[in-house]
Amino acid sequence: MNAIALKSFDPIIPTEKESVQAQQSSRVLARYLKAHGTEPVELAEPSHPDQRITLPAAALRLLVDILTQMAQGNAVTLIPVHAELTTQEAADLLNVSRPYLVQLLEAGKIPHRKVGTRRRVLFRDLMRYKSVEDEARLKALDALAEQGQKLDMGY
């Protein structure tokens, strides 16, 4: 697997072989998760049954989600919610240009702080903004669909 950079949020892009391995692994771990619910899961390596590892259920759910995404060939990255992002990293996560993101910051739509002349955005603040915007988009789409129904536009 690709090396994971601890300070960078570069995505891990799985190879085809890794995608197949991830699919198999996610299925096995999902069965463990289903069987144990919210209880921790204890795993042992077959060649060393005396060496066990206990995974919290939340960590197992996260691992299954990561493996599922990798199985689909999607790039994966982990970002702690308290992480501070550069404006470029934040823009990349929102799939917008950096200048547009800076406009959002300057307009006060996303909280940020300055470190010298550089702006930093907390990941949790960025996700909160994204959630609000996604909800507003869905409401607008619902309104458009309703209007289309009333006008008998065929969709």
pLDDT band at 5 (very low <50, low <70, confident <90, very high): very low
Looking at the whole model, is its pTM more than 0.85? no
With tokens 């069987």, the residue in question is 35
Using one digit for the tens of pLDDT, what is the confidence trace for 7-48?
566 788 999 999 999 999 999 999 988 998 899 988 888 888
Using one digit for the tens of pLDDT, what is the confidence trace for 83-112?
999 999 999 999 999 999 999 999 999 999
Residue 45: predicted pLDDT: 83
